[in-house]
Amino acid sequence: MCKYTPNLSIVVPAYKSAATLPILVERIDALWKQLELDDDSRELIIVNDGSPDSTWQVICRLAEQHTWVRGIDLMRNYGQHNALLRGIRAARFEVIVTMDDDLQHPPEEVPRLLEKLQEGCDVVYGVPEHEQHGLGRDVASRVTKLVLQSTMGAEIASNISAFRAFRTQIRDAFANYESPSISIDVLLTWATTRFAMVKVRHSPRLHGTSNYTLRKLMTHAFNMLTGFSTIPLQLASLIGFVCTLFGMGILAYVLGRYFISGSTVAGFPFLASVIAILGGAQLFALGIIGEYLARMHFRTMGRPYSVVRDITYMPVSVAPPESTAITSPEPAKVHQSQSRH
């Protein structure tokens, strides 16, 4: 049994996972017994990220069977990190563990994360000993981690994982964050630099295929670069500086040829090439600046990162923090809520 057993909230974003959730809940139930946690010190928050199948109905049924299961149903598919943030803000206990819904993150490995957390860390990642993804997914994941490492400015970035444990108080650092572009790992660096990792078992996916395609991973990497760093702007400045030096070199070449040989540089191809290089650099820089302006525009619009459609009944034995309180007028099924937290 784990020596460190804090009050624990497990947050799971769910999408098209009607087949795997009952198995996941069964294994988490065994985890509670291993950690010796009762209903006043444990909870599983499952956030349905707009699944088109019967995932929400399965969550409601599981919530009726287990008092420690809480469900949140989002209005549409917002993305994994958006769903995670919704669940993190609803968590009630001192430590939060996040994991995927596909059973590739074994709940039995949670005690190892908690033991590492006890050593004085604020965030612990469970890094797979052996990846169980395809080659394309692995390459895209590595590229994303490299981008995240430059964005986060933390060495641990190369070992990040969706299987993580962290202290709930960390969320205070991004309590007011409302942008639809989210990276949970970047937000965690706003509060602490005390990261750690442990090697954990990584199981093969039992049902379906991953929703993270190569295109989605690359888009996520680009969103992290433009949403949480100034690296693209610095790149645009560097390109502008290089093009300025190039232009000065061309000018020196033209003037030198005129004064030395008394002739000018002839030929339309030469002039067109120079214009194309300088014009392309300008358009590239304008495109990067435009991307930042677009993000500022979306933030001023107040576009929510997610909107809740329904929630399952939450026991009132342990009240959640005021900022994330979700109450129900009666201990029945669910109630509707379209307010933004």
Residue 7 binned pLDDT confidence (cut-offs 50, 70, 90): very high
Max mean pLDDT among 64-68, 217-221, 292-296, 313-317 falls in: 64-68
Percent of the chain with pLDDT over 90: 38
48 has which bridge partners? 14, 73
Question: CB–CB of 14/55 below 8 Å?
Answer: yes
Radius of gyration for the alpha carbons in the chain, expressed in angstroms and rounded: 25
DSSP 8-state secondary structure symbol assigned to residue 329: S
The CA distance from 63 to 18, in Å, is 14
Question: CB–CB of 188/264 below 8 Å?
Answer: no
Q: What is the pLDDT of residue 298?
A: 67
Q: Which helix (H) or strand (E) holds 298?
A: helix 268-301
* pLDDT per residue as tens digits for the range 151-171: 555 566 667 888 999 999 999
Q: How many Cβ atoms sit within 10 Å of the Cβ of residue 241?
A: 10
Six-digit token string for 287: 């495109």
Q: Which of 239, 219, 339 is nearest to 287 (CA)?
A: 239
Q: What is the pLDDT of residue 333?
A: 43
* pLDDT per residue as tens digits for the range 169-197: 999 999 988 888 788 888 888 888 899 99
* pLDDT per residue as tens digits for the range 279-290: 878 888 888 887
Report which residue type is found at 20. Answer: T
pTM attached to this predicted model? 0.73
* pLDDT per residue as tens digits for the range 197-248: 999 987 766 665 656 556 666 666 666 666 656 677 777 788 888 887 887 7
* pLDDT per residue as tens digits for the range 71-125: 999 999 998 999 999 999 999 999 999 999 988 899 999 999 999 999 989 999 9
Residue 336 binned pLDDT confidence (cut-offs 50, 70, 90): very low
